[in-house]
Every structure is written in C-alpha cells, then in structure tokens.
Structure 1
C-alpha cells in the first residue's frame, strides 16, 4: 500500500500516533481504524435523520446528512485513488465532516449559534471536533474516538488553515496534544473538502428540481448546468424528466471531478510537493477547481442560494425549525431537571458558566424527528392528555 502512494500523501505507518496510545492492528492501518470508528459512532448513525435542506419527513428521496456523507466519501475515494493519496484518510474525513450538524440543517445551527452567542457561539465544524475528541462515549480508556493526529488535523483544516481566533475547544485540545493549526490541510483533507462542495452542489440541484422549487428552464440559463442539460437533450431527445434529472446531476459531478483532477495535476507540476509537509507549506491549496471553471461553479451556488435556500417554502420551514431549537434551549436551560438522567448528571458536574454548552450539546445531537418529538413532550399541553 505505502509504495503505491504519492510522495506528498499521508502515510499511516509514518503517522504521529494517537492522544491515548494504543497497540496497532495487525490487519488494519491506523487510518482504516479511524474510518471504522467514525462509521460505528452514534453521531454517525444519527445523520440518517438529520437533513440537508428539507426536514426529514418532507419526502423519502431528499438528501439527509447520512446520504450526503456517503456521497462525499464516494467522490473523495475516487479523487484519492487517482491522485495517489491515502483513500482511507480521505474517506474518514468525508464521513466525519458533518457529524457536528444540528437538527434541521443550517436553520438549526443558526438558531443554536444565536442562543449560544454569550457562551462562545455554535459552529458545526467545531462541534464535529468535540464529538470525536470528547462527546462520543464508547471506549473504556478514553472519551471521544481517539483518532490519529493526521485525521484530527485533516478534520479541523479540511476547509483550510485554522484562523485566529482559534476556537476554544480546539485550542484547549491542541495545548495538551500539539497539532498543526496553520498551513494548508493535508491533500486528503483537501480532496474531502472539494468532494463536499461537488456533492452538495450537484445534489441540491437534484433535490430542488425534485421538489419543484425551480425548473429546467431556469437551469438551462446557468453556466455548467445549462451546458450539460443542452448536451443531454441533443443526445437523448424526449428523455423522460426523471431520467433527465439523474443524467444532468451525473454529468455535472463528472465535469467537476475531472476539472479538480486536471487542475490538481497542473498544481502538482508547478509546486512539486515531495512530502505532506510540502503540501502544508504551499501558498495555495493543492486540490482545487480551475480558474476557468470556478466562476461557473460559483454561479450555480449563487442560483441555489437565491432559488432554493431562500425559497419562501424553505424559509417557512427554517423559521419553524429555528423556533423549535430556540424553545428547546430556553426550556432546558431553565429546567435542566427535564434533561435525561445522564445529561442531568453531566450538567450537574459542569461549572455553571459552561452549563449552556451541555444543553447545546444535547440539542445538537438530536435528529429532526427527535427534536420535534421532544418539543411536543416539553411544550405541547395536549400531550398531557395523550
């Protein structure tokens, strides 16, 4: 395996170890074990009932955080294999990158960030880090998942270097177990990040078309997507709508992936990184879209923000979802005796100044349907008679 990797790839056998030392596996690399621990985590299973844009009960075929994470991991594996970097590390980052999301997508995160403004705010990327280093409670010898330093650094830097001010949770962990917070992320982290961009852009187009938030006539006017649509209509005239949607999305993903591969090849020739350290020190990311395609990609993103994320039907749903999260936070902060027993214990053991974070952790871990059920149990008087 090691011989097939590029010189700038991360290597499990040359890794920096884990915060809590453990014996190596005879059959799995350290990065394979990281990936497997993420898949078996409770937070990963809960992604099945956490949404991207639509609330979970809106329809069976819209993306959830789980299906999105699986789609990101598929693209990340493809990029990693072609670029000669570690597939297991890229896949681990792809599968873990959304663990910290709240119920109800970005609406839930915005609401939780609002109510936590006086207590450090809330950010799903930081919450992902807290989950894998502390909040998962599965193992006898440590809290969290005890991932390798390479996986942790790739997770916190998959969107680029960690800028000041460094979030307190990351700063506290790094002070006990030093990590590199500046510089570019690993090539594997960058591949996972671009895979995320590719997956959610293409698949939000898919979900928006299926939900009827916009139609093909609007997509036809977009760069990239419009080119793909016109080409498919020429080659497959009269193709039924359902198949046409699927073919458009498939072709968009392919164009984006090919562009990343070709642009990364150009950057490899220009910068010639000979080690992971060289990747960290590069003035620009190694894995990237080309300058020619990027404006077209950004135009599609702007269209989705305007016609999908800001659509009045989505905004109505987001408004109600945010209200659920804010109400849960206020109620459980005022009445921590309404928390489940284990969370009450955690709340009682925590210094008063940090107790809002415990309530936020409890809410952030909820799925959409559990948050709605908990809201009914706590705040709907009719449930007293049911």
Structure 2
C-alpha cells in the first residue's frame, strides 16, 4: 500500500487522512476537496458563524499548514473529473493520479427548490457550505421577512437564527407536522411551542406552490393553501442528495448511498466510503447516518481497515441541534418505536423511545444528564421500564447499575 487518495475534504475526509498518519501510514496521501478552503466544521456555519460569533479561522479543523507538515497533499478547489476503477486512477483537472486505495468521502448536497417554481431566483438559499452561508449572511438582517421551507432540524435551526437576527419568520412544512420523519410527536410539539414562543409562524400541512420574483429576485411566495405573502429571502431545508456520481462512475454498488460492508469497503475491494454518502449495515438494515460524529468515527474506522485492522465499524449514533437557548441531544435511533415515555423535569425534559420494552433512543432537551445516561443504557443494551423513566423523581443513574 503506497498511495491513498481521499476524495472529499469535509469532516470525514479530514478525519480519514489524519487517522492514516496517526496509525503510522508512511505512503503518499492525497486529499481532494472542491471548496477553496481547508476542511472545516459545518455545524457552526448556520449558527455561530452566521451570527458573527465565530471567525472563519476557528471553523477550520486544522491549520492549512498542518497538511503539508504531515505529508498530506491537500488539493483545494479541485474537482475529480473521472474514476477508472480498473486502472485505479482518478482524473483531477486532466491530471491522472494513481491509487492503491480510494476513499469516497464525498458527502451530500442539499435539495434545492425546483427552478420551475422560482427556486433559481436570487435570495433563495440552502445551508451546507461556507459559500452558502457567506451568500446568505448579508440578507439575514432585522426587519426583513424570511420564508423557511421544510420543518426538519435544518429548517428549524435556520428559523431560530433568523429570529435571533430580528427577522420576521414563517416556516412551512408540507407534511402534517414538523419533524415528521425524524422525531416523535412529543418532540415536535416541544419545538413547535419553542419556535412559536419566539415569534415564528409555523404552517404545517402547507407546501410551496411557487415563488414570485421581480428582476430575477424573490419577493414573495404563493403557498399551497392559496395564500400569497411577501418575503425578502427564502431558505430551503428539504433534505439532501448523496454525492454518489463518482461511485457510479467507478461501478460500485449503490444502495441508499454508496453501499459499504461493516468495514467501510465498497463492492470494489480498493474503494472505500465514509460519511454522509455511505450506507452501512446496522441492526439488520442498511442506514446512512448524517452526523459529525459518524463522519469522524466511520472515517477513522475506514483508515484503520485500509491498513489491515479488519474491524467492524459499530456506530453509536448520537446527534445534536441548538435552537435558541435549547440544546437538543439525541442518542440512538428511533426506527420502529411504538411508544414514547416523557420525563418532564421542568427546564430539563427528555423523550424516551421504546419498541415494546426495548429502549431505542432518547431526545434530551436541556437535559445533559438524561442524554448521557440514556446513551449509556442504549450502548449497554439495557432497557429500564418506561414507567420508571417517566417518573421525574426516579434516579436515572441507578438504572445503569440495574
């Protein structure tokens, strides 16, 4: 193993190359990213960075010089044009680079509103990259009107930031309720009340018919209920598409993203995948985990397996979201839940997901203790009774010893 190429300079790609060096790999490492900046953190982009509370340099995962000091050929603003799996080469700007192992850490791209309903108008934004947020920032100012399309966590976080900047905010969700795909009604109710308490107008079961524009700039929208309203900007939070074009070119198997085995290897033994773009076997199904922690852990596991560790990657899913003064921490996956135990501790609140008697996941709002204990219980395979969990007087910590 002499040459490793990692395509995608996000959290997963950066974690992979760092782990390769930390594990003692002395061969050539090339990290290729389309953005003209070193790898950076994405979560603060739409929060602290957009609010002006974090400088650009603090976003970077490592100083640019670190890559050269560690013998990593960091190619910024570079696009991979082609992958030849048979020849084990990638083409970058016409230059052919050979690899012994190729890691696809290509991430995902936000879904955009269709052009035929005005999605290509100026003032219509998505939240993913530094460039996205830099383009949006001048428009997120007090006394302007924002329409948020999509009631998932991205949309809710965008609504929170817009309100903190003094904007008039309306959020629409075409499904019957916000967070319909990712959280229980109890959690949706909590965040609906939170946002409405901060002055956000939330419209559920209402979609977008079209955007109105003047001089190629958005000035308003017609909603599916027939209402027409003026807006100065629009933010779309309607999901993501996995960046799997290079995987298709390489001929590897796709299944809800780039399909990998438990080691992170694709159907081509020389090609691996990690991060948002990769799907992996978990609990008898195939999943993708769109989170920073998974990007780090999966990429590090791939790095070790490339070097011969031969270890299954066993994810320990956890996620978080910051909205106003509420920190949501999620442990586990709630797929297949049939009931929710609510633990109401006043300022601290948590929702515990069960399938039968088995604990699956926990949503903890300003409840770091509930989150941490829930996470440890899930990882240990322990399932306290829902009745005990729901009793705010019960000692959660004692459940770890049961």
Fold in common (TM above 0.5): no
TM (norm. structure 1) is 0.23
TM (norm. structure 2) is 0.22
More helix, by proportion:
1
Which of structures 1 and 2 has the larger relative contact order (alpha carbons within 8 angstroms, sep 6+)? 1
